[in-house]
Amino acid sequence: MAKKVRAIIISGNGVNCEQEMALACRRGGADVVDIVHIGELLAGRAQLEDYHFLNFPGGFLDGDDLGSAKAGANRILHAAVRDREGRLAEQVQAFIADKKLIIGVCNGFQLMVKMGLLPALEGRYGDQSVTLTFNDCGRFEDRWTSLKVDPASPCVYTRGLENLYFPVRHGEGKFVVRSSEVLDQLEEKHLAVLKYTDPDFQAPTMEYPFNPNGSVGAVAGICDESGRLFGLMPHPEAYLYRTHHPRWTREPDLGEEGMGVGIFRNAVEYIRSTLL
């Protein structure tokens, strides 16, 4: 009997996109999709080792106190797992060492960068070299964005994809780097997977509102050097069916499947071919 692809979606403490993320995993072909409250992991009643695909959904972790996802990152990094030796962070590190997949969307992306899981240059997981901060416009942005995929990126999730159209919903989505050297490495290693572009997908742009937050280098999503860890501010799980598209009644050639499904299908197919 073929082994099953098992996906876990972390919920709790302000996460609010777990159901959409679970549907995206199912649409992508995952066999088992469990929504698990972070408290279940900390209580030792669930373990990451039982899964292949870890999903950090969007939301407002801890009300964005201390900055978006910072309190959530501290919880994972420092909280002990009840009745077990070690912290939850050690389960995350073991998950990475086992060459499994992790994706973070919006608040989940903020969480990953503040845990130092992305970009983890030269394999330095835990070293935070980038962050996400307040939008240049000074307000919450809720709009659809055009995105260009770097075809040379090692990112598992974007293989075979080129131009994407996803919504953003955030107040702290501006991607910034610790130094110009970090940005140079992201470009040289093709880790800046997604960039905001003009509506015709012609070129990365810093122009508002096409770049909705002022992200440096127009960066909308990054991966680590293995391509197995991926974070992005736009929401692929918000475009799973043609009826999710804002102009679905006016664009008859959309097809029945939304663009976001491809992100999750790529992840599932990678797991089937590599981990099972």
**What residues does each domain of the chain span?**
6-274
Q: Which residue in the list 52, 170, 235, 245 is annotated as catalytic?
A: 235
CA gap 16, 81 in Å, rounded: 24
* Nearest of 269, 273, 268 to residue 7 by alpha carbon: 268
Q: 130 near 113, Cβ under 8 Å?
A: yes
This model's pTM is above 0.95? yes
Catalytic residue from among 155, 172, 237, 245: 237
Tokens of 8: 């876990």
Q: How far is CA 251 from CA 85, 129, 130, 165, in A?
A: 55, 41, 38, 14
Residue 252: both structure tokens together: 């008859």
CB 235 within 8 A of CB 16: no
Per the annotation, the verdict on 155 as an active-site residue is: no
**Which one, of 37, 35, 34, lies nearest residue 14 by Cα?**
37
DSSP label of 176? E
Question: Which residue type, as a one-letter code, is found at position 20?
Answer: E
Residue 143: partners with Cβ closer than 8 Å, 6 or more residues away: 167, 168, 209, 212
Grouping H, G, I as helix, E, B as strand and the rest as coil, residue 185 is: helix
pLDDT for the residue 239: 98
**6, 51 in Cβ contact below 8 A?**
yes
Catalytic-residue membership of 235 = yes
35 in the Ramachandran plot: left (φ > 0), alpha (ψ -120 to 50) or beta? beta
Question: What is the C-alpha separation between 219 and 234, in angstroms, rounded?
Answer: 11
- Choice among 18, 20, 25, 106 that is catalytic: 106
Is 106 a residue of the active site? Answer: yes
Q: For domain 6-274, give the CATH number.
A: 3.40.50.880
Torsion on CA atoms 262, 266, 268, 270, rounded to nearest 10 = 180
Q: What is the pLDDT along the chain (276 residues), one digit of tens a residue?
A: 568 999 999 999 999 999 999 999 999 999 999 999 999 999 999 999 999 999 999 999 999 988 899 999 999 999 999 988 889 999 999 999 999 999 999 999 999 999 999 999 999 999 999 999 999 999 999 999 999 999 999 999 999 999 999 999 999 999 999 999 999 999 999 999 999 999 999 999 999 999 999 999 999 999 999 999 999 999 999 999 999 999 999 998 999 999 999 999 999 999 999 999
The residues, any chain, with a CB within 8 Å of residue 103's CB and separated by 6 or more, are 53, 54, 55, 56, 157, 229, 230, 231, 263, 267
Q: Which of 237, 270, 273, 234 has the alpha carbon at shortest distance from 35?
A: 237
